[in-house]
Amino acid sequence: MGWPVHRPLRTIAVCAPATPLLREYADAVSALAAAEFPGIELHFHDQCFAEDGHFAGNDATRLAALLDCANDARFDAVWFAKGGYGSNRIAGDFLGKVGPDARKKAYLGYSDCGTLLGALYRAGVGKPVHAPMPVDIMRDGGSDAIRRVLAWFSGDDSGLEAGLTGAPAAAFNLYTLAMLVGTDLMPSLSGHEVLIEEVGEYEYAIDRLLFHVSQHLHDIAGLRLGEVSAVPENDRPFGATVEEIARYWCEKHAIAYLGRAAIGHSSANRIVPFGLEA
Amino acid sequence: MGWPVHRPLRTIAVCAPATPLLREYADAVSALAAAEFPGIELHFHDQCFAEDGHFAGNDATRLAALLDCANDARFDAVWFAKGGYGSNRIAGDFLGKVGPDARKKAYLGYSDCGTLLGALYRAGVGKPVHAPMPVDIMRDGGSDAIRRVLAWFSGDDSGLEAGLTGAPAAAFNLYTLAMLVGTDLMPSLSGHEVLIEEVGEYEYAIDRLLFHVSQHLHDIAGLRLGEVSAVPENDRPFGATVEEIARYWCEKHAIAYLGRAAIGHSSANRIVPFGLEA
Q: Identify any residues that bridge with B228 across adjacent strands, giving them in sequence order.
A: B198
Distance CA A258, CA A262 (A): 13
pLDDT of B278: 52
How far is the alpha carbon of A187 from chain B, nearest alpha carbon, in Å? 15
* pLDDT of res. A80: 98
Write down the pLDDT at residue A166: 87
Q: What is the pLDDT of residue B277?
A: 67
Q: Cα–Cα distance between A250 and A258 in angstroms, integer?
A: 10
Counting Cβ atoms within 10 Å, is residue B120 exposed (0-12), middle (13-18) or buried (19+)? buried
Residue A4: predicted pLDDT: 72
The answer, yes or no, to whether residue A107 has pLDDT greater than 70, is yes
> What's the CA gap between A74 and B225, in Å, rounded?
47
Contacts of A86 in chain B (CB under 8 A): 204
pLDDT (tens digit, 9 = 90+) per residue, B180-194? 999 999 999 999 999
Using a CB–CB cut-off of 8 Å, the residues of A that contact B are: 51-55, 84-86, 88-89, 178-184, 203-205, 207-209, 211-212, 215-216, 234, 236-240
Question: How many residue pairs from chains A and B have C-beta atoms closer than 8 A?
Answer: 84
**What are the chain A neighbours of B254 within 8 Å (beta carbons)?**
none
- Beta bridge mates, B127: B106
In tens digits, what is the pLDDT along chain B, a chain of 278 residues? 456 767 889 999 999 999 999 999 999 999 999 999 999 999 999 999 999 999 999 999 999 999 999 999 999 999 999 999 999 999 999 999 999 999 999 999 999 999 999 999 999 999 999 999 999 999 999 999 999 999 999 999 999 999 998 899 999 999 999 999 999 999 999 999 999 999 999 999 999 999 999 999 989 999 999 999 999 999 899 999 999 999 999 999 999 999 999 999 999 999 999 998 65
> Within a 10 A sphere around the Cβ of A100, how many other Cβ atoms?
9
pLDDT of residue A220: 97
B239 and A53: CB-CB below 8 Å? yes
Region A47-62 average pLDDT:
98
Interface ipTM:
0.96
Cβ within 8 Å of residue A61, ≥6 positions away? A47, A50, A52
Q: What pLDDT does residue B1 have?
A: 42
B221 burial type by CB count under 10 A (0-12 exposed, 13-18 middle, 19+ buried): middle
**Looking at the partner chain, which of A85, A208, A236 has a beta carbon nearest the beta carbon of B88?**
A208
Residue numbers in A near B209 (CB within 8 A): 179
CA distance A28 to A101: 29
Q: Which residue of A has its CA nearest to B213?
A: A179
Q: Are A35 and A152 in contact (CB under 8 A)?
A: no
Q: Which residue has the higher pLDDT, A1 or B73?
A: B73
- Please answer yes or no on whether A182 and B215 come within 8 Å at the CB atom: yes
Query: Can you give the pTM of this predicted structure?
Result: 0.97
Average pLDDT taken over every residue of chain A? 96
Neighboring chain B residues of A209 at a CB cutoff of 8 Å:
179
- Taking only the tens place, the pLDDT of each residue in A206-222 is 999 999 999 999 899 99
Nearest chain A CA: its distance from B61 CA (Å): 15
Across the interface, of B89, B183, B211, the residue whose CB is closest to A215 is B183
pLDDT at A7: 82
CB spacing of B55 vs A182 below 8 angstroms: no
